């Protein structure tokens, strides 16, 4: 456990098969590192596997069920005084959210790595990374109130389900019901990057969840995530995370 000014970070092994309805006094993130957990609230039930990211606002009732096997999660608890001290208005982040944006997950991974390094620079880094995460979350949450074109949701579903496949512009445009020129022109507007960059993010995000499996070597992980070879996987991973996969695996199991 690491306690900073208004922030508590814990690397937790789930030991109870079931945790009945409860709530936490403070807002917090749950990031699943290994294993699986089912979490339910008043509106939805989430089945969480490695790489799943949840956010709960303060005093949001929920319950947990842990299937058989080892489950480990990284938790970031944020006191309201921390928000107030930094004049960050989080009132718009109500309820429980399951976050799928890969950029948010990469930021949480970086916070996790800083917590493991825990040197004289870690507190500043964790604070700034957490603010980046919340700011991005808030922006995504606000934009969700504005109706995006239907093709945006469809394209996102296709890319998340088939990122390891060899996708073509013709296939994507036809499946989403949009002209290829329109799709090419407007994709960066809604996804904040190019097609190639977004697909590489999804592949690296998937690899981060597989690295927790000690039985998988990097060659197998690269193949499972749709990379052409291990060297391409390592280059993309380092470009996004700032270190190579083997270095990250060592930090994960410190």
Per-residue pLDDT 10s for the chain (254 aa) are 888 888 999 999 999 999 999 888 889 999 999 999 999 988 889 999 999 999 988 878 889 999 999 999 999 999 988 888 877 777 667 778 889 899 999 999 999 999 988 777 888 899 999 999 988 887 765 555 457 889 999 999 999 999 888 889 999 999 999 999 999 999 998 888 999 999 999 999 999 989 988 889 999 999 999 998 999 999 999 999 889 999 999 988 87
pLDDT of residue 162: 92
| Token code pair at residue 55 | 């956010």
pLDDT of residue 76: 96
pLDDT of residue 117: 83
pLDDT of residue 144: 53
Nearest-5° Cα angle at 102, 185 to 224: 100
| Whether CATH 1.10.10.60 fits 150-252 | yes
Residue 220, C-beta contacts closer than 8 angstroms, at least 6 positions apart = none
pLDDT of residue 47: 93
Enumerate the domain spans of the chain.
2-143, 150-252
Q: CB–CB of 71/17 below 8 Å?
A: no
Q: CB–CB of 240/201 below 8 Å?
A: yes
pLDDT of residue 109: 93
Q: Among the residues of the chain, which ranges form H helices?
A: 80-85, 102-117, 122-143, 150-162, 169-176, 180-191, 195-210, 218-224, 230-241, 245-252
CATH topology of domain 2-143: Jelly Rolls (2.60.120)
Q: For residue 101, give the nearest of 244, 233, 202, 31 by alpha carbon.
A: 202
pLDDT of residue 146: 58
* pTM (predicted TM-score): 0.88
């Amino acid at each position: 456990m690491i306690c900073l000014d208004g922030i508590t970070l814990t690397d937790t092994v789930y030991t109870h098969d079931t945790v009945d309805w409860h709530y936490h006094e403070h807002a917090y993130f749950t990031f699943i590192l290994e294993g699986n957990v089912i979490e339910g609230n008043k509106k939805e039930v989430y089945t969480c596997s490695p790489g799943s990211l949840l956010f709960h606002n303060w005093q949001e009732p929920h319950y947990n069920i842990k299937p058989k096997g080892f489950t480990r999660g990284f938790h970031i608890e944020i006191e309201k005084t921390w928000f107030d001290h930094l004049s960050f208005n989080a009132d718009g982040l109500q309820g429980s959210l399951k976050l799928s944006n890969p950029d948010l997950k990469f930021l949480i991974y970086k916070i996790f790595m800083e917590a493991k390094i825990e040197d004289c620079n870690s507190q500043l880094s964790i604070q700034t990374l957490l603010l980046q995460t919340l700011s991005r979350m808030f922006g995504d949450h606000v934009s969700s109130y504005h109706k995006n074109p239907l093709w945006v949701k469809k394209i996102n579903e296709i890319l998340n389900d088939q990122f390891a496949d060899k996708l073509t512009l013709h296939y994507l445009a036809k499946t989403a019901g949009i002209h290829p020129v329109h799709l090419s022109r407007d994709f960066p507007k809604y996804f904040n990057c190019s097609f190639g960059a977004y697909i590489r993010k999804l592949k690296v995000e998937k690899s981060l969840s597989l690295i927790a499996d000690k039985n998988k070597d990097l060659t197998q992980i690269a193949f499972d995530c749709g990379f052409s070879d291990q060297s391409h996987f390592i280059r993309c991973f380092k470009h996004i995370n700032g270190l190579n996969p083997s270095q990250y695996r060592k930090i994960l199991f410190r």
